[in-house]
Amino acid sequence: MKIALMMENSQAPKNAMVAAELNNVAGGLGHEVFNVGMKDENDHHLTYIHLGIMASILLNSKAVDFVVTGCGTGQGALMASNLHPGVVCGYCLEPSDAFLFNQINNGNAISLAFAKGFGWAGELNVRYIFEKAFTGKRGEGYPIERAAPQQANAAILNEVKAAVSKDVVEGLRAIDQELVKTAVGSAHFQECFFANCQDEAIKEYVLSVLEK
């Protein structure tokens, strides 16, 4: 599985630590991790709004299979991600959140709070969240006697979201194009996206935005 890590400007100083924990856990399980920023406070400037756009493009183009995102509280990155079609993002403050999201909701992104409640041993909490997010078979349900209705409801939710959403490129064109240009302007993002994109329409759109 390909996993993208993305963090906004206020939490950029924690990026190296979070990336190291994610690489240790996910890399150890055979997953490939792409750190698309912000890698430090001087990196390409991103807000949680940009993170949602980046998550949408990477997931819908199948450049990655999963996104780890976050901001100070985790709420902004969560809302910005779930605005977009094809992105099902869960809110994880502790390892049990990651486990239950993995088993019950079986989405493709998680949002973490990198400031709120992030004190002593914060790196351990992040590590254990990643362990629960990426260990074991996904979508098996919890508790097991609730597996069938949980799996059914997760599938229905995805169908409802697809029904009410615009086409990915159409939706991206409908928002301020400067937001999109900033979101895709990072060299880290472009390296991940262009090397792994599997959707020509999204690729052509991103190229057209960068050329403006």
pLDDT of residue 37: 94
Under 8 Å CB-to-CB from 60, ≥6 apart: which residues?
84, 85, 86, 87, 168, 199, 202
pLDDT value of position 146: 93
What was the pLDDT predicted at 136? 87
- Does this model's pTM top 0.85? My answer is yes
Domain layout of the chain by residue ranges: 2-211
pLDDT in tens, the chain (212 residues): 999 999 999 999 999 999 999 999 999 999 999 999 999 999 999 999 999 999 999 999 999 999 999 999 999 999 999 999 999 999 999 999 999 999 999 999 999 999 999 999 999 999 999 999 999 889 999 999 999 999 999 999 999 999 999 999 999 999 999 999 999 999 999 999 999 999 999 999 999 999 98
Cβ–Cβ < 8 Å for 114, 74: yes
Q: What is the pLDDT of residue 212?
A: 81
- Is residue 29 within 8 A of residue 135, CB to CB? The reply is yes
Whole-number Å distance between alpha carbons of 70 and 201? 28
Q: What pLDDT is stored for residue 79 in this prediction?
A: 98
CATH of domain 2-211: 3.40.1400.10
Q: Where are the alpha helices (H) located in the chain, listed in sequence order?
A: 15-22, 28, 48-60, 75-82, 95-100, 122-134, 147-164, 168-174, 177-183, 187-196, 200-211
Q: What are φ and ψ of residue 94, in 5° steps?
A: -150, 165
Burial of 42: CB neighbours in 10 Å, binned 0-12, 13-18, 19+: exposed
